[in-house]
Structure 1
């Protein structure tokens, strides 16, 4: 991954986190990593634990960045989420998987973008 792409991703993740905070969502973790991979943002939206994948692009294209969150990526995020739940000993809390798309100054927040995969 090039330095430019890393910086673009960091920009998008920071913009997404600020947006979530303005919406009253509490940020618990950023760039949570384990052996299965990484989740960009882990947050709490009222009583729901939210695992957020952020996709950032410089310009809008006919192919949505949402398409980059394919079944393989969903499985990876799901495994990281389960690891997080076990590590933090969280048992009975509703969970949701969201995708946030950042293109320039626009943000699209897709709540419940996919279900947990195993």
Structure 2
């Protein structure tokens, strides 16, 4: 399989997982403010309001547990990057005096891309 095909498949998988996560979060009472917020520092998958919190959400999707749970790939490097992206977002939109939270949504699919499990980890890191 060539590199372009692998990249395309990963993007499709990620996009599909983000769509499933978005529906899941809306059902849980989240209000989605932004999807795929892009800036010079990178991208935040989802930004939402949940009660009084502004929530920055990383979505990880996998089709097997061969390499562990999807959420396990949100390592310290990714966490630091998300914090910087959140700071950029808040500065850009001049947001202050708000509770901020970082959640991770873990989406596990089967080989047919049916959702096997969605896990929400609230306050995944600080």
> Same fold by TM (over 0.5)?
yes
| Greater alpha carbon shift after TM alignment, 32-41 vs 53-62 | 53-62
In structure 1, the residue matched to 2:112 is none
Name the SS for the 1:2 alignment partner. Answer: helix
Structure 1 length-normalised TM:
0.93
Residue of structure 2 in register with 1:46 after alignment: 51
Based on CA coordinates, which of the two structures has the bigger radius of gyration? Answer: 2
For residue 16 of structure 2, the aligned residue among 2, 11, 16 is 11
| TM-score of the pair, normalised by structure 2 | 0.87
RMSD: 1.1
Unaligned runs of 5+ in 1: none
Counterpart of 1:109? 120
1:1-118 superposed matches below 5 A: 2-61=7-66, 63-104=68-109, 105=115, 106-115=117-126
Aligned positions, number? 115
Measured in 1, the distance between the counterparts of 2:63 and 2:71 equals 14
